[in-house]
């Protein structure tokens, strides 16, 4: 089975090394492609065993990004059996209590399009120290929150057409209970704020601003700290963490599935903050 794993980046000095390390480990033998949208921080230089595709820097437009990746995915499927696309802060993990690796998951699941249980990884201020990027992420970070928007159709054996943000596509995916996507945007306060300052200050297309695409990438530091760091920490301190089970959330997601033109979308909502089982520690 030939597998391609793709991401598209701009100045991702923190997350890109994690992404490369993760997919090399979890998909041995896969071919990794990094589409570089004009990085100028050196983060895409010298990536080991990675195919770099340089693009000129232009104002950011999520529709254009989705179209580029869609076209590239269609081309890759002429040569590869499976194509995976994730942003470089999104790590797919097959449930280690069931599968030996993401590669073995792919060998056992033959669905045309596959979506995971999407989880936002949070740093709990006051109980978790700043992230050590030299060490595995899970274990340093022990809490994650279900997010329907992160249940993205990320794996496909057939050509897909994605919406901006890759949250939906033109097929109904197989929503899996044995596959997780850990989203690292909020794994560390300092790293998150550094990235926010970059995305807030970079050039955005007129269309992106008109449609208010990716508004959280332009929010204030205060909003980010309150919503994604202080509030989760207070929730866990007050109420404790929920079990790492998501049947209720996935049923709600599937109940909300609807056609919107050619695309199949779900409602955007979040679940409780859950404690990640030790079986997942060290897998990212």
CB 246 within 8 A of CB 179: no
* Residues 58-85: tens digit of each pLDDT: 999 999 999 999 999 999 999 999 999 9
* Residues 32-51: tens digit of each pLDDT: 999 999 999 999 999 999 99
CB 126 within 8 A of CB 236: no
Average pLDDT over residues 243-261: 97
The band of 96, judged by pLDDT with boundaries at 50, 70 and 90, is very high
Average pLDDT over residues 245-271: 96
Q: Measuring CA to CA, how many Å separate 172 from each of 138, 149, 152, 162, 266?
A: 30, 15, 11, 12, 10
* Residues 103-134: tens digit of each pLDDT: 999 999 999 999 999 999 999 999 999 999 99
* Residues 7-29: tens digit of each pLDDT: 999 999 999 999 999 999 999 99
- The pLDDT value given to residue 8: 98
- Percentage of residues of the chain with pLDDT beyond 90: 100
Task: State how beta strands 174-183 and 113-121 pair.
Answer: parallel
- The pLDDT value given to residue 69: 98
How many Cα neighbours within 13 Å face the side chain of 257? 17
CB 100 within 8 A of CB 163: no
- The pLDDT value given to residue 187: 98
- The pLDDT value given to residue 171: 97
In this structure, the chain runs to a length of 284
**Can you tell me whether residue 12 is helix, strand or coil?**
coil
Count Cβ atoms within 10 A of the Cβ of residue 178 and give its class: 0-12 exposed, 13-18 middle, 19 or more buried: middle
d(CA 183, CA 166): 14
- The pLDDT value given to residue 76: 98
- Percentage of residues of the chain with pLDDT beyond 70: 100
CB 279 within 8 A of CB 142: no
* Residues 143-200: tens digit of each pLDDT: 999 999 999 999 999 999 999 999 999 999 999 999 999 999 999 999 999 999 999 9
């Amino acid at each position: 089975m030939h597998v391609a794993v793709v991401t598209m980046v701009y100045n991702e000095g923190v997350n890109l090394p994690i992404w490369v390390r993760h997919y090399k480990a979890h998909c041995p033998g896969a071919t990794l492609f990094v589409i570089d949208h004009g990085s100028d921080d050196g983060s895409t230089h010298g990536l080991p065993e990675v195919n770099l595709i340089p693009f000129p820097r232009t104002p950011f437009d999520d529709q254009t990004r989705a179209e580029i990746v869609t076209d590239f995915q269609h081309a890759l499927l002429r040569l590869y059996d499976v194509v995976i696309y994730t942003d470089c802060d999104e790590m797919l993990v097959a449930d280690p209590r069931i599968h030996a690796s993401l590669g073995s998951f792919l060998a056992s699941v033959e669905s045309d399009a596959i979506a995971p249980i999407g989880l936002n990884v949070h740093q709990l201020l006051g109980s978790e120290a700043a992230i050590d990027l030299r060490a595995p992420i899970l274990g340093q970070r022990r809490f994650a929150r279900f997010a329907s928007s992160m249940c993205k159709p990320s794996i496909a054996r057939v050509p897909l057409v994605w919406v901006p943000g890759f949250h939906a596509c033109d097929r109904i995916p197989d929503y899996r209970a044995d596959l997780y996507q850990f989203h690292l945007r909020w794994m560390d306060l300092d790293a998150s704020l550094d990235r926010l300052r970059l995305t807030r200050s970079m050039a955005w297309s007129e269309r992106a601003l008109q449609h208010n695409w990716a508004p959280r990438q332009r929010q204030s530091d205060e909003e980010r700290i309150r919503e994604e760091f202080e509030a989760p920490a207070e929730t866990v301190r007050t109420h404790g963490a929920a079990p790492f089970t998501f049947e209720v959330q996935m049923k709600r997601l599937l109940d909300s599935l609807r056609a919107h033109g050619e695309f199949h979308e779900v409602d955007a909502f979040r679940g409780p903050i859950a404690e990640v089982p030790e079986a997942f520690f060290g897998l990212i």
